[in-house]
């Protein structure tokens, strides 16, 4: 992909480092980065550097022109998730690793070399490391780059591992999760010392970074965004007593959520509404998720779909029964933009400017969650009120242009601060 000029003479030259190509847009993190980069590209020159695997299509490469002026890829051969080699790698890392597995698996001498060469070429005003793992390609200590670095933190990764450990019943897995939690805390602190600034996706995450991890360079947060034109209310008829869960089904917090809901909450819902259904929409459903769909009446797992909007249009409500997680859930904003009501745990909705009873229903115990679902099923006025409240919220506060303007302010602040330091 050849470089293109930037129309705005005040635009920044941004070197954006990521672990992957963005297409297909089948995860909240990819959707967030994609939409922000599309906005940034209008005023700034974006060079996007990432890994490319054998599974990445030519279309994914071609469509990178939607969000960057120049694409640079480095070949990467990931270990298949769920394979014996994968689990052996996690176990070995927990026993002998110096960085958490989620970071170590992306170590690449070639990627590190390319990033440092690009930074040394004086063709970038700012480096953005997308995800905590991308920091592994940056030097520390005396080798710190001359170009300022901003880390975009989609989650508090250590908090996710901590919650895994707290909810895991298997003793071996719990021990592994605890070790990954401690290693990730250490890496988050060490990474903060390598960079000029950090941006989170909620004030809750900012507060955690500052107060729990002692970070001094957390600049602030960007709101969670949604394309309110693409996601909009549909005139299609609803399927009575239907629920939808939306999310990548190869991500452990989502797997835990649907297993928890199906085993602990859904039976309570079905006692009152035997015809109730739940559709699990998301890529690569794990074996446990596929088993739920085969064993439990009323449960369906779609796998990857080309467009989630028809599934949202049919559902009477969206469920977000997360017990583990960090960052913010774009899928909540997407559901709200279509006008359907959302029932979530507090973990699922954390970091979002929502209010129970006005634009969302929040419940943490199985009994309370089932009651919220039942109330929506049986009360048309409540469904409309919560749905309308969520729609008004995202239309007022969650447009991508506004989100990106906030992020751009942090980018310029980091560049200005580095200039003053020199």
One pLDDT digit (tens) per residue for the chain, 422 residues:
434 444 455 799 999 999 999 999 988 889 999 999 999 999 999 999 999 999 999 999 999 999 999 999 999 998 888 788 988 999 999 999 889 999 999 999 999 999 989 988 888 999 999 989 999 998 875 457 789 999 999 989 999 999 989 989 899 999 999 999 999 999 999 999 889 999 999 999 999 999 999 999 999 999 899 998 999 999 999 999 999 999 989 888 999 999 999 999 999 999 999 999 999 999 989 889 999 888 899 999 999 999 999 999 999 999 999 998 776 789 999 999 999 999 999 999 998 999 999 999 999 999 999 999 999 999 999 999 999 999 999 998 888 999 999 999 999 999 998 766 54
- CATH architecture for segment(s) 242-397: 3-Layer(aba) Sandwich (3.40)
SS (H, E, C) the chain: CCCCCCCCCCCCEEEEECCCCCCCCCCHHHHHHHHHHHHHHCCCEEEEEEEECCCCCHHHHHHHHHCCCEEEEEECCCCCCCCHHHHHHHHHHHHHCCCCHHHHCCCCHHHHHHHHHHHHCCCCCEEEEECHHHHHHCCCHHHCCCCCEEEECCCCHHHHHHHHHHHCCCHHHHHHHHHHHHHHHHHHHHHHCCCCEEEECCHHHHHHHHHCCCCCCEEEECCCCCCCCCCCCCCCCCCCCEEEEECCCCCHHHHHHHHHHHHHHHHHHHHHCCCCEEEEECCCCCHHHHHHHHHCCCEEEEECCCCCHHHHHHCCEEEECCCCCCCCCHHHHHHHHCCCCEEECHHHHCCCCCCECCCEEECCCHHHHHHHHHHHHHCHHHHHHHHHHHHHHHHHHCCHHHHHHHHHHHHHHHHHHHHHHC
Instruction: Tell me whether domains 13-225+400-421 and 242-397 share a fold.
Output: yes
* CATH architecture classification, 13-225+400-421: 3-Layer(aba) Sandwich (3.40)
The structural domains of the chain, with segments of one domain joined by +, span 13-225+400-421, 242-397
């Amino acid at each position: 992909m050849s470089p293109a000029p930037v129309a705005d003479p005040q635009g920044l030259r941004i070197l954006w480092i990521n672990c992957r190509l963005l297409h297909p847009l089948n995860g909240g993190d990819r959707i967030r980065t994609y939409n922000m980069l599309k906005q940034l590209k209008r005023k700034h020159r974006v060079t996007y550097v990432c890994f490319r695997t054998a599974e990445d299509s030519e279309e994914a490469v071609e469509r990178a022109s939607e969000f960057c002026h120049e694409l640079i890829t480095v070949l990467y051969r990931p270990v298949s998730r769920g394979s014996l080699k994968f689990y052996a790698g996690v176990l070995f890392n927990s026993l002998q690793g110096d960085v958490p597995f989620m970071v170590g698996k992306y170590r690449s001498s070639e990627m590190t070399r390319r990033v440092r060469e690009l930074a040394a070429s004086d063709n970038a005003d700012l480096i953005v490391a997308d995800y905590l793992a991308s920091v592994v390609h940056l030097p520390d200590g005396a080798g710190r780059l001359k170009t300022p670095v901003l880390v975009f933190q989609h989650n508090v990764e250590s908090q996710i591992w901590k919650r895994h450990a707290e909810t895991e019943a298997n003793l071996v897995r719990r021990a592994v999760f605890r070790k990954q939690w401690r290693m990730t805390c250490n890496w988050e602190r060490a990474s903060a010392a390598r960079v000029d600034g950090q941006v989170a996706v909620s004030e809750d995450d900012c507060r955690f970074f500052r107060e729990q991890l002692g970070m001094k360079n957390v600049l602030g947060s960007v709101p969670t965004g949604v394309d309110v034109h693409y996601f909009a209310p549909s005139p299609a008829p609803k399927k009575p007593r239907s629920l939808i869960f939306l999310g990548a089904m190869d991500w452990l917090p989502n797997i835990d959520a649907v297993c928890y809901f199906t085993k602990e909450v859904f039976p309570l819902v079905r006692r009152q509404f035997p015809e109730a259904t739940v559709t699990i929409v998301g890529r690569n459903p794990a074996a446990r998720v596929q088993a739920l769909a085969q064993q439990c009446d009323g449960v369906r797992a779609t796998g990857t779909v080309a467009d989630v909007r028809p599934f949202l249009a049919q559902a009477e409500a969206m469920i977000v029964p997360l017990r583990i997680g960090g960052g913010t859930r774009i899928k909540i904003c997407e559901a709200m933009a279509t006008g359907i009501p959302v029932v979530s745990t507090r973990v699922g909705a954390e970091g979002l400017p929502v209010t129970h009873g006005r634009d969302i229903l929040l419940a943490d115990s199985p009994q309370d969650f089932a009651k919220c679902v039942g109330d929506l099923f049986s009360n048309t006025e409540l469904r409309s009120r919560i749905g309308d409240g969520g729609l008004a919220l995202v239309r007022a506060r969650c447009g991508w242009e506004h989100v990106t303007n906030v992020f751009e302010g942090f980018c310029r602040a980091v560049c200005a601060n580095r200039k003053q330091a020199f």
